A and B are shown apart, each in its own frame.
Chain A
């Protein structure tokens, strides 16, 4: 029996011709490779907006033996999700770079950045530290125009 002939022992008639077992297995391998790539990207950048970009509408409600068209849809959805995740990661990194530059400007010229506040999350750093441009000595500093970057002591 050649690989293109229908398999009488296949559970579902819809899965027989013209598609083949080999083509479905090839697609499952592609799906597995894409899933692994997606997992690796998420492992490096585990953030809500990145996770949201990885969302895919499932093809089935219960585990099923998918036909060729369904497997192609799973693969295409995964490719799209991977692109979206990479886009989200790049956007996030660009935002972090902008915020780091802003933090440097805050230190260089606090008076020009009154009240600006950044957190470790804004900078893509671990922990829960906070940088805020605040007046020295409260109201006195506010009236006198004495501003500085105050660094929080981190997590409680």
Chain B
């Protein structure tokens, strides 16, 4: 069974934002995850009231704590920061949560089920432990630049993904990724257990347990 771990959070960020947490799990994707993911999305499509949720949550599919955090960090929460959520809003038009590949299918299922956004990294491109921090301008480990003060998840080599939004393409998990690092950030306004449970749930889906 996958192990969900709490990552370190920069004390500066705790002083600034209050209860921030980072939850991660490393999991090997089983073959059966692809089919199970498609079936899960099919089932969810029939029961997921996307339009209602979008209306309740100011145009978003995730927990309202996340748009608030996005606003506090300078973003416009009216525009979902991840391609996954932007695509997921199409469910209102199409009536179906579209399947792409096992990892994104699981991220989408967890987004629909519990409203927690997950980031999936290629375990071959990053090595734990991971921590939540603000950059001093150092680039991502694939060379993508940052500016001082960017809020990121970092490993020992440097930033690997922004706290909100998609990771650089070379670091992100894709259709052929065998081992995935799942991470989710707990922001003020959402309970710790909800976020850790979301990571645990996604890890179990991918591991087929």
Chain A residues within 8 Å of B, Cβ to Cβ:
7, 9-12, 15, 21, 24-25, 28, 31-32, 35-36, 38-39, 42-43, 46, 51, 54-60, 62-66, 70-71, 74, 78
Contacts and interface: CB of A to CB of B under 8 A. Distances in A.
Given A31-B71, A36-B68, 19 more contacts: A9-B11, A11-B10, A11-B12, A21-B16, A31-B72, A32-B68, A35-B71, A39-B58, A43-B55, A55-B76, A58-B76, A63-B74, A63-B151, A63-B163, A64-B149, A65-B12, A66-B72, A70-B74, A74-B72
B71 A65 contact: no
A21 B71 contact: no
B75 A60 contact: yes
A120 to B, nearest CB: 17
A35 B162 contact: no
B152 to A, nearest CB: 8
Given A39-B57, A62-B162, A74 B189 contact: no
Contacts of B149: 11-12, 15, 64-66
A65 B15 contact: no
A43 B59 CA distance: 9
Nearest to B51: A46
10 contacts: A10-B12, A11-B148, A31-B68, A31-B71, A35-B58, A56-B76, A63-B73, A65-B12, A65-B16, A66-B73
Interface of B: 10-13, 15-18, 55-59, 64, 67-68, 70-78, 81, 133-134, 136, 146-151, 162-165, 188-189
Interface of B, secondary structure class, is loop
A38 B58 contact: yes
Given A11-B12, A64-B147, A25 B75 contact: no
A74 B74 contact: yes
Report, nearest first, the 7 A-B pairs whose CB atoms are least far apart. Answer: A60-B74, A63-B73, A59-B74, A58-B76, A39-B58, A11-B134, A63-B164
A43 B74 contact: no
A108 B18 CA distance: 62
A63 B70 contact: yes
Nearest to B71: A35
Nearest to A42: B58
A47 to B, nearest CB: 11
A66 B13 CA distance: 11
Given A21-B16, A51-B59, A63-B165, A74 B71 contact: yes
Contacts of B136: 11-12
Nearest to A58: B76
A62 to B, nearest CB: 5
Contacts of A15: 149
B67 to A, nearest CB: 7
A64 B165 CA distance: 12
Given A9-B11, A11-B10, A63-B150, A32 B18 contact: no
A65 B73 contact: yes
B204 to A, nearest CB: 28
B122 to A, nearest CB: 21
A53 B76 CA distance: 14
A108 to B, nearest CB: 36
B64 A36 contact: yes
Contacts of B148: 11-12
Contacts of B151: 62-65
A63 B75 contact: yes
A105 B139 CA distance: 67
